[in-house]
Amino acid sequence: MRSKFILYLSLSWLLCLFLALAFYYGGEEGERKIVVIENGLSGREISYILEEEGIVPSFLFRLFLFLSNQDKLIAGNYFLYPGEAVGEVVKKLTQGPSYEKITFPEGFTSEQMARVLEEKGICSARDYLDLINKPELFSAGWLGGITNLEGFLFPDTYYFSPFTSPQKVIETQLHHFEEVFLPHYWLSRSSLSLKEVVILASMVEKEAKRKEEKPVVASVFINRLKQGMKLQSCATVVYALYREKGLKVENLKEEDLKVASPFNTYLISGLPPQAICNPGLDSLLSVLYPQKTDYLYFVLQGDGKHAFSQTYEEHLHYKEGNNP
């Protein structure tokens, strides 16, 4: 009877110790760290890494592994916090590598995407941007003739583990572009090349925030191209000012329209040399299936909508603030 009582007390003590260890430190007290667990490391070696990173003390981690009978720790890259509960750390290491949710809004440039990736600890912004100018390093056959990947980095929500190679990140984005948009492009039998569609869609993305206006804006650009008119897109001027002078401008002045740049469609004929952002599916489809109109002009009004017109006189009327 006495031995059973002692056994009961021992088990109770171990249970209390286990629960205490599980919640030891009990919270996320410091800035998140990326901890790399290499293949083939023992539990003891992993415990030393965790202690060096300031996550949990080595002996507590090993004691928790012993009491919980956990011995299958998975190699990979993990997001961990100094002061995080021992039980939570072990749970993460037995479930597998951490993944960060990354959302790229429609209209983001590759530079903006690179900044997010670096801030989230996924990859170097510089390395990511270096690859944007090297499409030949990627195996997608449909990239033939394309010299820059701006516009093809499909904006969406992705999940990447820390220290993912920038090449893998871009491959994932290109594959998503291929899956989501390319079937629409092939079926449309568009007379425009894929590159032309993407460039136009990037302009539509920046000019039209309302989904219902995108096919109309696309029709204006296409109508102007057919008539040999300059596209005169303010969005391309904003892009040119940032690219050439590092200026972030929201309200353009008359002098801004004269900035010397191959992207300034007030000066150049035809399309700019590459996309000015990474457009979403709605903008891409609006170029494949533009609304049939005779419009050649549009201007943004105070209510956030655009006024569209066929003649320059009508355009000036709307530009002065008159409603359609």
Same domain for 50 and 65, yes or no, is: yes
Residues 203 and 282 grouped into a single domain? yes
165 and 212, same structural domain? Answer: no
Among the candidates 147, 180, 213, a domain finishes at 180
The fraction of the chain above a pLDDT of 70, given in percent, is: 90
> Residue 41 is part of a domain; what is its CATH number?
3.30.1490.480
Tell me the β-bridge partners of 191: none
Q: Are residues 163 and 206 in the same domain?
A: no
Q: Are residues 222 and 170 in the same domain?
A: no
How many whole angstroms separate alpha carbon 3 and alpha carbon 150?
74
Q: What is the pLDDT of residues 253-275, one digit of tens each?
A: 999 999 999 999 999 999 999 99
11 close to 3: Cβ distance less than 8 angstroms: no
Please state the rounded mean pLDDT for residues 182-203: 97
Q: Is there a domain that residue 314 lies in?
A: no
Residue 34, pLDDT above cutoff 90: no
- The whole-number pLDDT of residue 12 equals 45
Q: Domain ends where: 135, 154, 180?
A: 180
Q: Which helix (H) or strand (E) holds 101?
A: strand 100-103
- Distance, CA of 81 to CA of 92 (rounded, Å): 12
The domain total for the chain is 3
pTM value is: 0.81
On whether both 285 and 195 belong to a single domain, the answer is yes
32 within a domain of the structure (yes/no) = yes
Domain interval for residue 47: 2-95
Per the domain annotation, does 305 fall within a domain? Answer: no
**Distance (Å, rounded) from C-alpha 94 to C-alpha 174?**
31
The pLDDT score that the predictor gives to residue 324 is: 63
Shared-domain flag, residues 195 and 285: yes
Residues 155 and 132 in one domain: yes
Last residue of a domain, one of 180, 200, 224: 180
As a whole number of Å, the end-to-end CA separation of the chain is 95
- Classify residue 185: in a domain, yes or no: no
Are residues 87 and 72 part of one domain?
Answer: yes
pLDDT tens for 144-184 read 889 999 999 999 999 999 899 999 999 999 999 999 999 99
309 part of a folded domain: no
- Within the chain, how many helices (H) and strands (E) appear? 13, 6
What's the CA gap between 252 and 233, in Å, rounded? 11
* 302 assigned to some structural domain: no
Asked whether residue 269 is assigned to any structural domain, the reply reads yes
Q: Are residues 81 and 169 in the same domain?
A: no
Domain membership of residue 311 (yes or no) is: no
The CATH number assigned to the domain holding 122 equals 3.30.1490
